[in-house]
Amino acid sequence: MNPPKRLRNDDNEAETPPGGRQEEERAVDVSIVMPMYNASCWLDECLQAVLYQDFTGTMELSVFDDASTDDSRKVVEGWRERLEARGISVVISGHDSAQPRGVGYAKNKAISQSCGQYLCFQDADDVMLPERVRLQYEACLLHPNSLIGCKVQRLPEGSTERYTRWINTISQDQLITQVYTSHGPTVVMPTWFCSRSWSLKVGLFDEGGKGVPEDLLFFYQSFRQGGGVARVDQCLLVYRYHEKGATHSVKEETIWKLRVDFLQERVLSQWESFTIWNAGKQGRKLYRCLSPNNQEKVKAFCDVDENKIQKGFYTYEESKQRPKPKIPVLHYKDASAPFIICVKLDMTGGVLEENLNSLQLKEGIDYFHFN
């Protein structure tokens, strides 16, 4: 790896263009982009993993400190000499305002002060495996207009078991078709790797701060721009779960509304009619949240619960229409595609999957998962 030509440490925020510092003499292959807030207890492990990357191209570490009140900045500075000796240039800046400005803001700043042709997103509390940059860089060369993810190892082991299994086992096709589920991005943000040019096309991360799912908004916008998504089918990141994680500040209802809007925009706008699979609470909630135009497209609910089916229909009591809309409730074998599936993934012991297979339906054409 070539030694860096210049190191930089900005005590205040860097005034840099959104595209990053593109001076030819400073350009590197990969910038590791790391927003940071009160992460000192994890940084040694995180930065040691950066040091141990087996990538043979040029790298830099771009850190933006979002008003940490611990000694995070000092810890990163303590690694500067070792990283520099390894040929990894270091850019550190930040602010010391009374309050952090949020993950989206910190990511944008870390990107703008960096100069790599490719961006490897790294959370300060996670640990990359030695092959991560190399393998995702190789994948990104093949998929330049995509967000590249990878498989993960969750720490502590066993935490978020269903979510972790989903991250690691969905197929390449499902990376595209399952973008509407409550799990969020089908390649999770802490594993993202993409070209700088693609990041610029998608645009900035939302800077709304606490409570804003900036990763989901960026992920959706990448799709709107025609971007793809791919996963290196190897575990390349130790993905830490803890109470201080920024994810916990985002309300479920915020995510729900974004998902409904994206489903309507990308799927329901293309369908003349459809069936909601689940006549229970989640299915009815989805129906109530649809636009009036899309509510009219719902030709039925379907279910396996005989009690729900025997009622015959669901009445939309909150409707201002007269008479109030009544939507039939059918057994799934009597219903017709396409379907929006509002049943939790992998919570039926395989029964849902068997039922879908019995109808010879294709995911992404005949049905989409929403829950």
pLDDT, one tens digit per residue, over 283-302 is 999 999 999 999 999 999 99
- Its sign, for the CA torsion 108, 112, 114, 118, is positive
Residues 45 and 159 in one domain: yes
Structure tokens at 155: 């720490």
Least Cα distance to 79 among 7, 12, 22 occurs for 7
Query: Could you say which of 249, 266, 284 is where a domain stops?
Result: 249
Domain co-membership, 234 together with 263: no
Q: What pLDDT is recorded for position 242? A: 74
Tens of pLDDT along 225-259? 999 999 999 999 999 997 766 555 799 999 999 99
pLDDT at 371: 86
Range of the domain at 243: 30-249
- Pair 121, 47 in one domain: yes
The strand pair at 326-331 and 313-315 is best described as antiparallel
Residue 85 and residue 3: Cα distance in Å, rounded? 8
Q: How many CA atoms lie within 13 A of 207 on its CB side?
A: 10
Total domains, the chain: 2
In a domain, 364, yes or no: yes
Q: What mean pLDDT is reported for the chain?
A: 92
Dump pLDDT digits (tens) for 295-341: 999 999 999 999 999 999 999 999 888 999 999 999 999 999 999 99
- pTM of the model as a whole: 0.92
| The pLDDT value given to residue 248 | 57
- Where among 234, 249, 264 does a domain terminate? 249
Same-domain check for residues 245 and 256: no
Q: Binning pLDDT at 50, 70 and 90, where does residue 4 land?
A: very low
Judge if 324 and 203 occupy the same domain: no
So what's the pLDDT on residue 13?
A: 54
Q: Does the residue 358 lie in any domain?
A: yes
C-alpha span between 85 and 51 (Å, rounded)? 10
pLDDT tens digits for range 92-139: 999 999 999 999 999 999 999 999 999 999 999 999 999 999 999 999
pLDDT surpassing 50 at residue 150: yes
Residue 299 resides in a domain: yes
Of 177, 181, 190, the C-alpha closest to 149 is 190
Phi-psi bin for 306: left (phi > 0), alpha (psi -120 to 50), beta? alpha
Question: Left (φ > 0), alpha (ψ -120 to 50) or beta: where does 92 sit?
Answer: beta
Residue 274, strand partner residues = 298
Q: Are residues 143 and 266 in the same domain?
A: no
How does DSSP classify residue 363? B
- Whose CA is closest to 68, among 29, 31, 42, 30? 42
Strand 88-95 and strand 59-66: the pairing is parallel
pLDDT tens, residue by residue, 151-176: 999 999 888 999 999 999 999 999 99
Q: What is the pLDDT of residue 227?
A: 98
Query: Quick one: 73 and 92 in the same domain?
Result: yes
335 part of a folded domain: yes
Task: Determine if residue 160 is left, alpha or beta; phi over 0 gives left, psi from -120 to 50 gives alpha, anything else beta.
Answer: left
The answer to whether residue 13 sits within a structural domain is no
What is the Cα Rg of the chain in Å?
23
What is the pLDDT at residue 69? 97
**CB–CB of 86/51 below 8 Å?**
yes
CATH number for the domain harbouring residue 230: 3.90.550.10
Check whether residue 35 and residue 136 sit in a common domain: yes
Contact 359, 336 (CB under 8 A): no
Band of pLDDT at residue 347, cut at 50, 70 and 90:
confident
Residue 339 and residue 196 in one domain: no
Average pLDDT over residues 183-190: 96
> Of the residues 249, 284, 299, which one is the last residue of a structural domain?
249
Cβ contact 283:276 at 8 Å: yes
Give residue 17's pLDDT. Answer: 56
pLDDT of residue 210: 87
The one-character DSSP state at 208 is: -
Please indicate whether residue 316 or residue 6 has the higher confidence score (pLDDT).
Answer: 316
Domain match, 187 and 166 both: yes
Q: Is the same domain home to 302 and 329?
A: yes
Any domain includes 8 = no
- In the prediction, which pLDDT does 350 show? 87
38 shares a domain with 85: yes
Instruction: Decide: 86 and 32 in contact? Cβ < 8 Å.
Output: no
Three-state SS for 147? strand
CA distance 80 to 61: 10
**274 phi and psi angles, rounded to 5 deg:** -165, 170
Look at residue 76 and tell me if it is in a domain.
yes
Tell me if 1 is assigned to some domain. no
Residue 244 has a pLDDT of 67
Q: pLDDT-derived band of residue 2, with 50, 70 and 90 as boundaries?
A: very low
Residue-wise burial string across 122-146, b where 16 or more C-beta atoms lie within 10 A, e elsewhere: bbbbbbbbebbbbbbbebbeebebb
Helix 281-289 vs helix 252-266: crossing angle, to nearest 10: 70
pLDDT for 18 beyond 70:
no
Length of the chain, in residues: 371
User: Per-residue pLDDT averaged across 9-38, rounded?
Assistant: 71
CATH number of the domain encompassing residue 263: 3.40.50
Within 8 A by CB and 6+ apart from 287, the residues are 276, 295, 298, 301, 314, 316, 327
Structure confidence at residue 7 (pLDDT): 41
User: Quick one: which of 255, 253, 207, 201 has its CA closest to 223?
Assistant: 201
| Both structure tokens of 218 | 């960026």
Q: Hey, what are 307's tokens?
A: 């009690």
Per-residue model confidence (pLDDT) at position 14:
45
